[in-house]
Amino acid sequence: MTKYQIIAATGCPTGIAHTYMAQEALEQAAKKKGITIKVETHGQVGVENELSSEEIANAEAVIIAADKDVHAERFAGKRIIEVPVAKGIKDAAQLIDDALAGKGTVSGGAPVQAEAAESDKKAGGIGHTIYKNLMNGVSHMLPFVVSGGVLIAISFLWGIYSADPANAQYNEMAARLNGIGNFAMSMMVPILSAYIAEGIAKRPGLVVGFVGGLIAADGGTGFLGGIVSGFLAGYVVLGLIKLLNPLPKSLDGLKAIFLYPVLGVAVTGLVMTFVSGPMSSINEGMMSFLAGFENSSPLVLGVIVGCMCAFDMGGPINKAAYVTGTALLAQGNTTFMAGVSAACIAPPLITGFAVLLFGKYFDNSERNAGLVNFVLGSTHITEGAIPFAAKDPLRVLPTMMVGSSIAAVLTYMFKVQVPAPHGGFLVLPVVTHGMLWVVSILIGSIVGGVILGLIQKNRVQKAQ
């Protein structure tokens, strides 16, 4: 068996792009330095390239580049460098150097080197911990929203009222698909809550978070209630673990199967029952606020959504817009998601048009990446634009934000409705005003592509 000097684990909230980009970056950086590394990925299909207990025991250092729970407790006693997944993509070589230099912290122990500890604290502080636990919930929630949303959208092919037995458009197959889709969508809040709690308190938190999420959903609190119940459940269970720690070791089985779930569900359930009313009002107020923008000021809403989606492409600000869109989609609002989708599709297409129109100013690898981004963008994978943004963020990111904002604004002005939360142009058959949606995205992407191309042209000419 190969002895790996360094092992790593990567994971992003959606488990589609960042996870594997970080894996590739770390593997390439290690290869250049003649270092053996094994990278475990936590993607949407589950754990791949899983690390064995022997590999963990033999490794000299561990790199965790993740924005979700990757079960770091397995690495107890090992020297760990923990950073957001984006840092694993951009600074892979530096992470390898830091691991070889003995930087990081020993899990459950004191810092190995003060400077490294301070760096890790900044990267993996309380803010990142909260974000990581939230994204653990989001990553598990997304497949339910995507599958449910697409099935509901397909049911609309028979007519917008095809699931209503009292309507002339009624179709039995459409009604069945619509019902299945609604069942999947109804799981959004409980799953979000359950896996936030699981990220905080591991398996004991799962059932408590799930029940808290069911109460939040039943109380009409929306995804905000799911977030609150998830964090509440997780920390309630952590409190119970500490409180019951003095009990004899022989009672560990009883604690896990009886005391934690019973007491945790009781405390979390009672609190959520009392706060559901106020939270429901907040949720309704937020929806009314956003719906008001859709009708009264598509320009303002489009700029806000466009800038959020393109600012950090797959990061927390992008995810805030996307999660809001999926939450509103689950509650019947298909307009907001149309702008979010347009704004997420635009950045990779911007790079594609830039290399298509200004190809001679880009090197061969950039031209290839830009052309591949036509495919990635068309399927709603924003992360393909990250390598371009990483090289010149101060000029490229504002360009992406301009292009995404134009796409989102035009989408709202044309009153496009997208009933599916993912899939890009693959869901065009179920999009209301689908061709106008495509036109909106192309206009924003071409404008952004021309600006990006001119920036690259100016950079190259200055360097000559």
Q: What residues are annotated to the active site?
A: 12
| CA distances for 12 relative to 89, 93, 336, 389, angstroms | 11, 19, 24, 18
Answer for the pair 366, 355: CB distance below 8 angstroms, yes or no: yes
Instruction: Compute the half-sphere exposure of residue 414: CA atoms within 13 Å on the CB side of its CA.
Output: 23
Q: How far apart are CA 442 and CA 439, in angstroms?
A: 5
What secondary structure does DSSP assign to 285-349, as a single string? HHHHHHHHHHHH-HHHHHHHHHHHHHHSTTSHHHHHHHHHHHHHHHTT--HHHHHHHHHHHHHHH
Q: What number of other Cβ atoms are within 10 A of residue 45's Cβ? A: 9
Q: Which two tokens stand for residue 140?
A: 């598990």
| CA distances for 35 relative to 30, 53, 94, 104, angstroms | 5, 20, 13, 18
Q: Hey, what amino acid is at 231?
A: F
Between strands 6-11 and 105-106, the pairing is unpaired
Q: Is 26 helix (H, G, I), strand (E, B) or coil?
A: helix
CA nearest neighbour of 79 among 97, 65, 100: 100
CA 287 to chain centre: 21
CA quadruple 337, 342, 343, 347: dihedral sign: positive
